Amino acid sequence: MEKPNTGAKRILVVEDEPAICQVCRRVLTSEGFEIDTATNGEVAQDRLREKDYDLILIDIRTPVINGKQLYQSIIEKHPRLASRVIFTTGDMVEGNTRRFLEQSGRPYLPKPFNPDELKTIVKETLGQIEK
């Protein structure tokens, strides 16, 4: 897999809402991260075959292959990355989503989120990985 020589951490943002994708790219790039995006889980699977990532930010509800299905695929095909996933969701009231997030044990960011919340959860998650 291709790994950049820049030393920057590479993050894959899986998000179908263009405005949120743009905010993630802008905020995380300004923090020195290298960002790739995917509009759904199918595109994300292609990106994961092409490149190596340090972190994956996954929206639970994306078309074609949703975040839950993508996470299951990551566990099976890229187990090293399973501990490098952060979920985003605008659906915290739906019981299945809440149960899934609790069972996954992964951090999540409820939508709408602000840039500081995004920076904090990304840095905290990367910090836990590097310990």
Q: How far apart are the first and last CA of the chain?
A: 24
The predicted structure's pLDDT at residue 131: 62
pLDDT range class, residue 91, cuts 50, 70, 90:
confident
How much is the average pLDDT of 55-77? 96
Question: In angstroms, rounded to a whole number, what is the distance separating the alpha carbons of residues 61 and 40?
Answer: 9
Is CATH 3.30.750.24 the right assignment for the domain spanning 10-123? no
The predicted structure's pLDDT at residue 39: 97
Residue 15 zone, left/alpha/beta (φ > 0; ψ -120 to 50; rest)? beta
| Per-residue model confidence as pLDDT tens digits over 97-130 | 889 999 999 999 999 999 999 999 999 999 987 7
How much is the average pLDDT of 56-68? 96
Q: Quick one: which of 62, 72, 67 has its CA closest to 86?
A: 67
Helix, strand or coil, per DSSP, at residue 91: coil
Residue 42 has pLDDT above 70, yes or no: yes
The predicted structure's pLDDT at residue 95: 79
Query: Contact 40/18 with Cβ under 8 angstroms?
Result: no
Task: Please report, for the chain, the start and end positions of each structural domain, with discontinuous segments joined by +.
Answer: 10-123
The predicted structure's pLDDT at residue 4: 45
The predicted structure's pLDDT at residue 129: 78
The predicted structure's pLDDT at residue 93: 64
